[in-house]
Amino acid sequence: MINVIASIQIKDGRLTEFIDIFKSNIPNVLQEKGCIEYVPTIDVPTGLSLQNLNKNVVTIIEKWISIEDLQTHLLTPHMLAYSEKVKNLVENLSLKVLEEV
């Protein structure tokens, strides 16, 4: 199983717009071959000293059966359309692709 953690830094004042666009695409992604989970999350204050809160970051948690399924996902028409819709809302993106051991 492949786990993906995508941290997306959103421009100030654009978080709600980004989340709305992202959520509208979730049903499409969940129908893709190999998609197990695809969830947007935001930081929640806990009071934990090690936590680094950032109100403009959306962390996407994804699970895929294989790397091939993930690669196919990135080239689907709905993901290409999504990328175009959010390109002016995103400041930075970091991606971790992890395999369970």
- Kindly report, residue by residue over 76-97, the tens digit of the pLDDT: 999 999 999 999 999 999 999 9
- Kindly report, residue by residue over 18-71, the tens digit of the pLDDT: 999 999 999 999 999 999 999 999 999 999 999 999 999 999 999 999 999 999
Q: What is the pLDDT of residue 76?
A: 98
Q: Which two tokens stand for residue 89?
A: 């809302």
**How many structural domains comprise the chain?**
1
In angstroms, the CA 65 to CA 36 distance is: 7
In Å, how far from its chain's centre is CA 68? 18
Q: What is the pLDDT of residue 87?
A: 97
Q: Helices 15-30 and 77-86 sit at what angle, rounded to 10 degrees?
A: 180
The CATH number assigned to the domain holding 63 equals: 3.30.70.100
Q: What is the pLDDT of residue 56?
A: 97
Q: What is the pLDDT of residue 30?
A: 98
Query: In terms of residue numbers, what domain contains 71?
Result: 2-44+52-99
pTM: 0.93
Q: What is the pLDDT of residue 14?
A: 98
Neighbouring residues of 44: CB distance < 8 A, sequence distance ≥ 6: none
